[in-house]
Structure 1
Amino acid sequence: MKVQIGEHELEMGSTYLTELRSSNDILNDTEALRQRLQEDGYLLIRGFHDREEVLEARMEFLRSLQAAGKLDPDAPIEEGIIGPENKGGMWGRSAADLQEEFPHFLNVVNSPKVFSFFEQLLGGPILTYDFKWPRAIAKGGNTGAHYDNVYMGRGTKNVYTMWTPFSDIPLELGTLAMLLGSQNYEKIKQTYGQMDVDRDNVATGWFSDDPVEIVDMYGGQWATTAFEAGDVIIFGMFMMHASLNNTTNRFRISSDTRYQLASEPVDERWIGKKPKGHYAWGKTPSKSVKEARKEWGV
């Protein structure tokens, strides 16, 4: 099967693209999960969330898209068909601001099961960023390759992203993809990986929108899979990831939420009832990633 990432078409099972592996076989072995997270850079867990709660949350997002005029008015709301303007949705804000409209969403990502899992994995009481990043990706949309640290690296580096899809997501709907081995790209980690988008104001914050270029230059292999409602993938701040293009006429709805030990420093941009978020990025003329990479020598 061929999939689209940016301008490139990649074949599943090729040099550039393989299948993510599930960690459900070691789900009850915390030490094995920690070791796999270090070795693979991610944990894919099938059926982690309650499926019905996830689908209830999906309907919250679809109702919001409908109210904004972004769904096809002639199609049933539950199908999530994109409207004629093909505009996505982004609900990035604090949990306090999301609570009234999206209670099922918060029940999913802030559930006791989520907290218990991260407390066991990280070995102590945890906190989650108050700011949440749910989004709906329209047709043609995708995300370029990046480390999360460039967006939220002012506290501990031991922050973990949980990506949650809010429906069954086949590859053509635009699944998340991990770049295997990228957590060991030391030169990239010490240059691009130390960037702060608010301090340095580098265009998109992506390292590249060309998945083939990175593999050819630095090795590794992209990996993705079809997801079902209830699945999650968890990864750290220095795991390069991107998304496949959404090539369908339906919205891909997903969220990014972050977790860390409560005892470690936290990036102040993403906590509190009114997190300030990105306060400088994009406010002045920015440097291109191409220019920055030339300076970094990567």
Structure 2
Amino acid sequence: MPGVLSQTLTVSDGPLTSENAALLRPSDPNLPLDELRQRFNEDGYLFLKQVLPREDVLEARRQYFSYLAPTGVLKDGSDPVEGIFNPDKTPDDYPGIGAGAAGGNGRPGGESAAQFVDRAIEAHYKDWYTEKLCQHPALYDFIAKFTGWGQNTLTFKRTLLRNNIPATKPIGVHYDQIFIRHGEPTSVTAWVPIGDIKLTGGGLIYLEDSDSVGMKIEDDFTAKAVAAGLTEEEAKYAFNSNMMSTGMLSENPAEFAKQHGRRWLVSAYEAGDVVLHKPHMIHASTVNNDPDNVIRLATDLRFADSSRPYDKRWMNFYRFNDGV
């Protein structure tokens, strides 16, 4: 990948270069479903270009940053939809939320961050997000057809609407089944960038051919839990001894990839793109090194077959310390 990757594309423990990274494979959502399913099964992910109307995604971005603007997070005089971080502020007052951010699922930041954190969590409950974006018919209809679940397609209410200020801590290495163990490993995650994300802008990255790696880690976890005398129910709440207290597998993506002899797959993203991935597909994010100081905004939407056992804890809206 000469010229595509540079030293500005970094993870927590170093750069991503042509030696340890490659590009995600994009897919046209209008390709035959059988071909898309084959790609999903082979790769563990499906990077769909423009499956959502771009203008609808940008409207959600505008609403989000307009709602957070009173906290001073945006550059003075800038259009909220651009989401440009205020260079006169410190990132410490604008922490991210979600698994792996600020030590897990607790409330991040101190007193100075209170207003921003309050609004970031309240945004999860706004109609322009819960109804207009999370329940968008273009994505729901695609998922229903792609999976074959049809009318049994269920959208989890619990989502993770994440902002990522430039130069702050990225998302650690994990797979989703860690957090949705109370259901079968048949759910599908849709990662939705809410706005354009440059290659260096903190987008999601996937460990190449890692669905099998995640399944092996999960199998090892189960074996250790059984050996330790845990019941099946206790094992669902226990963390693998190789995981961190946040549920992350590692905070060092470059080292993790080297240990497993695999590369990280990266991409720039556009508003309207969606990446579907399997429950054991290992992923993380890069450091947001956007040259224009753009805040990275994205969400994780999850879908399940309502006729099969699924993790019902995910049918409640996201709240801090909700035990998931």
Normalized against structure 2, the TM-score is what?
Answer: 0.76
**Aligned-residue CA RMSD in angstroms?**
2.6
Deviates more, 1:192-201 or 1:58-67: 192-201
**Is 1:245 matched with 2:287?**
yes
Equivalent runs, 1:22-101 vs 2, <5 Å? 22-24=26-28, 27-83=30-86, 84-86=89-91, 87-88=94-95, 90=97, 91=120, 97-99=125-127
User: What SS does the corresponding residue of 1:191 show, helix, strand or coil?
Assistant: helix
Give the Cα–Cα distance (whole angstroms) in 2 for the partners of residues 280 and 211 of structure 1: 25
Identity among equivalent pairs (%): 29
Uncovered stretches (5+) of structure 2, i.e. residues with no partner: 98-119, 226-233
In the alignment, which of 216, 230, 255 is matched to residue 258 of structure 2?
Answer: 216
Cα shift at 1:266: 1.8
User: What SS does the corresponding residue of 2:302 show, helix, strand or coil?
Assistant: strand
**Is 1:117 matched with 2:142?**
yes
Give the Cα–Cα distance (whole angstroms) in 1 for the partners of residues 200 and 24 of structure 2: 16
Corresponding residue for residue 20 of structure 1: 24
Inter-CA distance 98–160: structure 2 relative to 1 (3 Å threshold)? same
Cα shift at 1:17: 0.2
**Is 1:146 matched with 2:174?**
yes
**Is 1:191 matched with 2:220?**
yes
Corresponding residue for residue 238 of structure 2: 200
Inter-CA distance 193–112: structure 2 relative to 1 (3 Å threshold)? farther
Cα shift at 1:60: 0.8
Inter-CA distance 80–252: structure 2 relative to 1 (3 Å threshold)? same
Q: Which amino acid aligns with 1:209?
A: E
Inter-CA distance 192–136: structure 2 relative to 1 (3 Å threshold)? farther
Q: Which amino acid aligns with 1:199?
A: Y
Corresponding residue for residue 198 of structure 2: 170
1:136-156 Cα distance to aligned partner (Å, 9 max, x none): 101223111101111112112
Q: Which amino acid aligns with 1:138?
A: I
1:273-298 Cα distance to aligned partner (Å, 9 max, x none): x56775447xxxxxxxxxxxxxxxxx
User: What SS does the corresponding residue of 1:66 show, helix, strand or coil?
Assistant: helix
Contact 1:165 1:232 in 2 (8 A): yes
Cα shift at 1:228: 0.7
Cα shift at 1:73: 3.3
- How many residues align structurally? 273
Corresponding residue for residue 133 of structure 2: 108
Contact 1:140 1:246 in 2 (8 A): yes
In the alignment, which of 310, 315, 320 is matched to residue 266 of structure 1?
Answer: 310
Deviates more, 1:29-38 or 1:227-236: 29-38
Uncovered stretches (5+) of structure 1, i.e. residues with no partner: 282-298
Contact 1:270 1:276 in 2 (8 A): no
Contact 1:57 1:105 in 2 (8 A): no
Give the Cα–Cα distance (whole angstroms) in 2 for the partners of residues 264 and 252 of structure 1: 34
Contact 1:92 1:131 in 2 (8 A): no
Q: Which amino acid aligns with 2:145?
A: Q
Normalized against structure 1, the TM-score is what?
Answer: 0.83
In the alignment, which of 13, 18, 21 is matched to residue 7 of structure 1?
Answer: 13
Contact 1:34 1:121 in 2 (8 A): yes
Cα shift at 1:94: 9.6
Q: Which amino acid aligns with 2:299?
A: S
